[in-house]
């Protein structure tokens, strides 16, 4: 390259690397991060034959030298922690740590001429798999009101929500996300609502989904059946009577009309003891065990 060509190249580089101009690079905690320089600076390094990678130490009077390149041979001061790629003069940090988040400087020179490229490395922990928690759920005026909270670990995490079908919320403004929280109001009879939360930071993004099946909470406990009713044909029941007693006839009073059934339940589920039950038949008829039967007094 002639003298005029070198002059034009140096002038263009001087405009490109103006004072205070630096590149911003994002690194992922625990992963490799590669610091690159522009093509023009690579060509200049090949011509000059010398280059240096440095980084700040926090002390304005000192810089840490990471690598020196001279005579076509690199000298790596970060053996096992960084790798130099002579093809493009890039420096690769093999296992990025938080301490690596510094200002890096690449300089190439020949004699009194030096060109510098600065890189500000920012290190982030990637987001973990997010989760959705139901903070509140309540029916009101034919609608269901929900408050969901999305959470994930990581640095500088932001959250975004999306629900389908889009026009389900009534009015649509009630599908209102506020950061990790989402407030919903939708028709109580509609169970097709599905929402997804995306957790994002500068180096990663993950999503989790939530489907609304019912607004009301499932009732606690178990329901009791009227013993006078016939169980459905497709059910197999075991009924244990704690006490069955006829009402006592009092002297001098007309006989009272006996109720059709007087039953107190002790339990409605569970496998009865083998000693108290005959072998179970393959039919679906209920099995009844009497704990005690009291006869009326004479």
One pLDDT digit (tens) per residue for the chain, 298 residues: 454 444 344 444 444 444 445 899 999 999 999 999 999 999 989 888 889 999 999 898 999 999 999 988 999 999 999 999 999 999 999 999 999 999 999 999 867 778 999 999 999 999 999 999 999 988 877 888 888 999 999 999 999 998 887 666 655 555 667 789 988 887 777 667 788 999 999 999 999 998 876 675 543 334 333 333 333 333 333 433 444 444 444 455 555 444 444 444 444 444 444 444 455 545 445 555 444 545 555 5
pLDDT at 138: 86
Give 293's strand partners. Answer: 244
pTM metric for this prediction? 0.61
Does residue 39 contact residue 13 with C-beta atoms inside 8 Å?
no
CB 118 within 8 A of CB 52: no
The pLDDT score that the predictor gives to residue 171 is: 54
| pLDDT of res. 74 | 94
Q: Strands, E, within the chain: which ranges?
A: 23-28, 33-35, 50-56, 63-70, 73-76, 82-85, 90-93, 103-110, 113-124, 131-140, 143-151, 158-164, 176-178, 181-187, 194-201, 204-211, 238-245, 264-267, 287-290, 293-294
Q: What is the pLDDT of residue 172?
A: 56
| pLDDT for residue 77 | 96
Please tell me the distance from the alpha carbon of residue 163 to that of residue 208, in angstroms, as a whole number.
12
Per-residue b or e along 143-181, where b marks 16 or more CB atoms closer than 10 Å to that residue's CB: bbbbebbbebebbebebebebeeeebbeeeeebebeebe
For residue 212, give the 3-state DSSP assignment. coil
User: Which domains are delineated in the chain?
Assistant: 11-124 (2.60.40.10), 131-211 (2.60.40.10), 228-247+261-298 (no CATH)
User: Can you give the pLDDT at residue 146?
Assistant: 84
């Amino acid at each position: 390259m002639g003298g005029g060509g070198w002059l034009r190249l140096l002038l263009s580089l001087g405009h490109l690397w103006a004072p205070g101009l630096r590149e911003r690079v994002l690194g992922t905690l625990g992963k490799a991060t590669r610091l690159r320089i522009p093509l023009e600076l690579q060509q200049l390094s090949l011509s000059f034959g010398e280059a240096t990678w440095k980084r700040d130490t926090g002390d304005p009077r000192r810089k840490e030298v990471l690598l020196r390149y001279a005579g076509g041979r690199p000298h790596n001061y970060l053996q096992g922690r960084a790798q130099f790629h002579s093809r493009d003069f890039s420096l690769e940090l093999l296992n990025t740590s938080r301490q690596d988040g510094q200002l890096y400087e690449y300089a190439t020179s020949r004699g009194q001429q030096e060109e510098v490229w600065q890189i500000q490395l920012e290190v982030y922990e990637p987001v973990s798999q997010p989760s959705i928690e139901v903070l509140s759920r309540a029916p009101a005026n034919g609608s269901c009101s929900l408050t969901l909270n999305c959470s994930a670990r990581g640095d500088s995490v932001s959250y975004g929500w999306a629900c389908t079908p889009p026009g389900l919320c009534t009015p649509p403004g009630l599908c209102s996300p506020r950061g990790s929280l989402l407030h919903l109001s939708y028709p109580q009879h509609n169970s097709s609502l599905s929402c997804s939360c995306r957790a994002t930071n500068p180096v990663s993004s993950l999503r989790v989904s939530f489907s609304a099946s019912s607004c009301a909470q499932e009732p606690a406990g178990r329901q009791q059946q009227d013993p006078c009713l016939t169980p459905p044909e497709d059910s197999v029941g075991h009924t244990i009577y704690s006490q069955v007693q006829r009402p006592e006839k009092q002297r001098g009073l007309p006989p009272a009309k006996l109720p059709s059934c007087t039953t107190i339940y002790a339990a409605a589920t569970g496998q009865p003891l083998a000693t108290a039950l005959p072998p179970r038949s393959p039919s679906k008829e209920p099995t009844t065990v009497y704990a005690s039967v009291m006869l009326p007094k004479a």
